[in-house]
Amino acid sequence: VADELHHRGFSVIDIHGDLEQRERDQALVQFANKSVSILVATDVAARGLDVDNLDAVFNFELSRDPEVHVHRIGRTGRAGSKGLAFSFFGEKDGLRVARIEEYLEMDVVPATLPAKSNQQPYQAKMVTINIDGGKKQKVRPGDILGCLTGKNGIPGAQVGKIHLFPVRSYVAVEKSAAKKALQIISTGKMKGRQFRARLLK
């Protein structure tokens, strides 16, 4: 699914059970900080996901268990915000649809897929910089922000979310500022020392 979306020009990343923890962390950070627009996840990999302001959830397949289905779609529209849930299904899924309707005590309203359009897929406006320093090196969000926005730096408005892990950090910056931001972090100092940095693809 992710490969097909990527082939069609969408900004997408995927998580699955074969990923190392670091790879999973990076994927979730990139999705949460809006460096990618779409996250494709298997059922197992999606367990425990908690992403703020999730606009929509798409179920590629209906779950056999109505409770699992409801848990999946419950990831959107949290904390009073609005969100949409869509599920792909066909004639062979009649029994699963009926179970979901019974569980939710409401009708599932089918709709036809929209026609193909010439509209360009939405592209993420941010990119993520990986910094080889984190909590163990006493790096704080303010250190990263200060480094980026200091003298001859980039405007604070071009800096997005900052995520700290034990030995690495991630900061989102607008694509237009990515090259300069990477140079600033690679050549500047935080906590009196330099840290290696690279762009996540």
Domain final residue pick, 44, 74, 104: 104
104-163 confidence digits (pLDDT tens): 898 988 888 888 777 788 889 999 999 999 999 999 999 999 999 998 999 999 999 999
Residue 76: pLDDT over 70: no
Q: 170 by DSSP, 3-state: which?
A: strand
Amino acid making up residue 149? T
CATH at residue 171: 3.30.70.330
In this predicted structure, what is the pLDDT of residue 80? 65
Count of domains in the chain?
2
Per DSSP, the chain holds a count of helices (H) and strands (E) of 7, 8
For residues 156 and 91, membership in a common domain is answered with: no
Question: Between 64 and 173, whose confidence is greater?
Answer: 173
- The pLDDT of 158-177, averaged and rounded, is 97
For residues 27 and 75, membership in a common domain is answered with: yes
- The pLDDT of 175-199, averaged and rounded, is 95
For residues 92 and 7, membership in a common domain is answered with: yes
Query: Is 121 part of any domain?
Result: no
Query: Is 60 part of any domain?
Result: yes
- The pLDDT of 100-105, averaged and rounded, is 92
Q: 4 by DSSP, 3-state: which?
A: helix
For residues 69 and 131, membership in a common domain is answered with: no
Residue 79: pLDDT band (50, 70, 90) is: low
* % of residues, the chain, pLDDT over 90: 61
Residue 199: pLDDT over 60: yes
For residues 57 and 132, membership in a common domain is answered with: no
Residue 195: pLDDT over 70: yes
Residue 73: pLDDT over 80: no
Q: Which domain holds residue 29?
A: 2-104
- The pLDDT of 43-59, averaged and rounded, is 77
Query: H or E stretch including 28?
Result: helix 21-32
DSSP string, 110-125: --PPPPP--PPPP--S
Question: What is the distance in angstroms between the CA of the first residue and the CA of the last residue of the chain?
Answer: 18
Q: Which two tokens stand for residue 82?
A: 């609005």
**Rounded to 5°, angle at Cα 127 from 121 and 129:** 160
CATH at residue 81: 3.40.50.300
For residues 148 and 190, membership in a common domain is answered with: yes
Under 8 Å between Cβ of 133 and 192:
no
Q: Report which DSSP code applies to 64.
A: S
In this predicted structure, what is the pLDDT of residue 78? 57
